[in-house]
Amino acid sequence: MLTVDSVSVSLGGERVLDAVSLSVAAGEVVAVFGPSGSGKSTLLRAVAGLVDVDSGRVLVDGVDVTAVPTHRRSVGMVFQDEQLFPHRDVAGNVSFGLEMAGVERGERDSRVSEVLSAVGLDGFGGRDVSTLSGGEAKRVALARSLAPRPTVLLADEPLTGLDADLHDRLAVEVRSVLRASGTTTLWVTHDRAEAELVADRSVSLLDLGARA
Ligand code: ADP
Ligand code: MG
């Protein structure tokens, strides 16, 4: 479903990713872990088309998208900083990608309820995002990224910064949400234990060809 084929990326004249190869099968959740600065975000940015690759290819669903712009790659992203839209309520945030995709109102509303329910936020649609707890905000960010059913979900440390208890609980919940929705996911984190909680398979970025 997702293939990263010998991708190299340099930033500021330094090689950050050196011929990194990785595949994620349809419906599989793969986590890549590595220390801060090892190139995790750069890997996701390369898959999303947010950074130019020096060489190598990215394939989504068998199609070479290396030269395809981000908005046409069918990838969804979720970040450590949730980046919720402050002027939209919870439902408005989750609905955003569906609006961009031109999904009509009725279908949007039912998809928003379905995804909010999947992340354990039934009845939160009308809430102002400034009133959410840290864990709730992360669930909303996850729901927003899942709503348009991306072919591949790219998750950049979306659980970092939570209290340990809540972190581990959410990691286990997220695993079941991703499994239940069959979402092909590439998840990156500095936290190896989190990688193992969330993913079907975890790999070290340093073993894949990142700079030390
Ligand atoms: P991680 O997400 O694993 O913490 P990053 O992918 O953000 O790592 O960064 C990998 C390396 O690339 C770091 O050394 C970082 O300083 C460097 N880097 C990131 N963005 C840029 C940039 N725009 N210009 C130069 N160097 C960058
Ligand atoms: Mg990062």
Task: Ligand 1 pocket test: pick from 7, 10, 15, 16 the residue with the most ligand atoms within 8 Å of its Cβ.
Answer: 16
Q: For ligand 2, an ion, list residues with CB under 5 A.
A: 40-41
174 and 209 share one domain = yes
Same domain, 47 and 113: no
Query: Ligand 1 within 6 A of 40 CB?
Result: yes
- Predicted local distance difference test score (pLDDT) of residue 210: 65
Q: For residues 170 and 204, state if they share a domain.
A: yes
User: Do 129 and 162 fall into the same domain?
Assistant: no
Determine how β-strand 2-11 pairs with β-strand 75-79. Answer: unpaired
Q: Whose CA is nearest to atom 19 of ligand 1?
A: 11
Q: Is 45 in the pocket of ligand 1 (CB under 6 A)?
A: no
Q: Is residue 80 part of a domain?
A: no
CATH number of the CATH domain containing 205: 3.40.50.300
Residue 209's pLDDT is what? 72
Which residue shows structure tokens 């929705």? 181
Q: Is 17 in the pocket of ligand 1 (CB under 6 A)?
A: no
- Nearest of 176, 170, 171 to residue 193 by alpha carbon: 171
The predicted-structure confidence for 55-94, as pLDDT tens digits, reads as follows 999 999 999 999 999 989 989 999 988 899 999 999 999 9
Taking only the tens of pLDDT, the chain with its 212 residues reads 999 999 999 999 999 999 999 999 999 999 999 999 999 999 999 999 999 999 999 999 999 999 999 989 989 999 988 899 999 999 999 999 999 999 999 999 999 999 999 889 999 999 999 999 999 999 999 999 999 999 999 999 999 988 898 899 899 999 999 999 999 999 999 999 999 999 999 999 998 876 65
Same domain, 103 and 204: no
Can you give the pLDDT at residue 212? 52
Do residues 142 and 194 both lie within one domain?
no
Q: Look at residue 137 in the predicted model and tell me its pLDDT.
A: 95
5 backbone dihedrals φ, ψ, rounded to 5°: -115, 100
Shared-domain flag, residues 63 and 89:
no
Domain that holds residue 140: 85-149
**Main-chain dihedrals φ then ψ at residue 210, nearest 5 degrees:** -95, 160
Q: Answer yes or no: do 156 and 123 share one domain.
A: no
Q: Global pTM?
A: 0.93
**What is the count of structural domains for the chain?**
2
Cβ of 9 less than 6 Å from ligand 1: no
Q: Which of 103, 134, 149 is the last residue of a domain?
A: 149
pLDDT at 184: 96
Q: Give dist(CA 203, CA 104) in Å, integer.
A: 40
Cα 55 to Cα 31, 98, 165, 196, 203, distances in angstroms: 23, 33, 41, 30, 22
182 CB-contact burial (10 Å; exposed 0-12 / middle 13-18 / buried 19+): exposed
Q: What is the pLDDT of residue 208?
A: 85
Pocket probe mutation, ligand 1, options 11, 203, 204, max atoms within 8 Å of Cβ: 11
189 lines ligand 1 (CB under 6 A): no
Ligand nearest to the CA of 52: 1
What ligand 1 atom has the least distance to the C-alpha of 35? Answer: 3
Cα distance between residue 46 and residue 51, in whole Å: 5
